[in-house]
Amino acid sequence: MTELGDVFDSLKGMGLVQLLLAFLACIGYTLAQGGLLAPRGRGVALSTALVAVGGFVVSSGAWMHSAVLVAFALSALGVFTATAWLCGRLLGFTVESAPATEDTAAHEHEIVGVSGPARPSAGRRAMGQA
């Protein structure tokens, strides 16, 4: 049997704990690379992924086969991300940023939580209700 066959045979012998650790590693890596979380959340996701990968490799009988599986999984996630990005670019699904206005700048300060003097909206100033 080839080395790759041995690696795929080790997939059949995985227990529930190993599958859970592999799932946590893939989800953590995906969240760490994406823009869904804040930078602190991405750091926590990356730490979770690294701990899960370490646990996955250690809990396996043949650690070299587990390391190869981790490399395949990360490569597959990278290929999937690159394919999705390329399809999005080819089909024209790009996000265009709108020009910043005074209202959107004030709204962004509210979202981020930056406190500052409240500015009246442009509509109120135009009507003289400042």
Q: Kindly write down the DSSP assignment for every residue of 46-110, as one continuous string.
A: HHHHHHHHHHHHHHSSSHHHHHHHHHHHHHHHHHHHHHHHHHHHHHT--PPPPPP-HHHHHHHHH
The pLDDT of residue 14 = 79
pTM above 0.75, yes or no: no
Residue 112 lies in a domain: no
User: Does 43 reside within a domain?
Assistant: yes
| 76 within domain boundaries | yes
- What is the pLDDT, as a whole number, of residue 129? 55
- What whole-number percentage of the chain has pLDDT above 70? 67
- In a domain? residue 108: no
pLDDT at res. 122: 52
Q: Is residue 84 part of a domain?
A: yes
Split into its structural domains, the chain has a count of: 1
Question: Can you give the residue range of the structural domain that contains 13?
Answer: 3-91
Residue 116 CA: distances (Å) to CA of 77, 108, 123: 42, 12, 20
Residue 74 lies in a domain: yes
| The pLDDT of residue 92 is above 80 | yes
Is 96 part of any domain? no
Report phi then psi at 49, rounded to 5. Answer: -65, -45
Residue 59 lies in a domain: yes
* Mean pLDDT, residues 89-100 taken together: 74
Give residue 61's pLDDT.
77
pLDDT of residue 40: 94
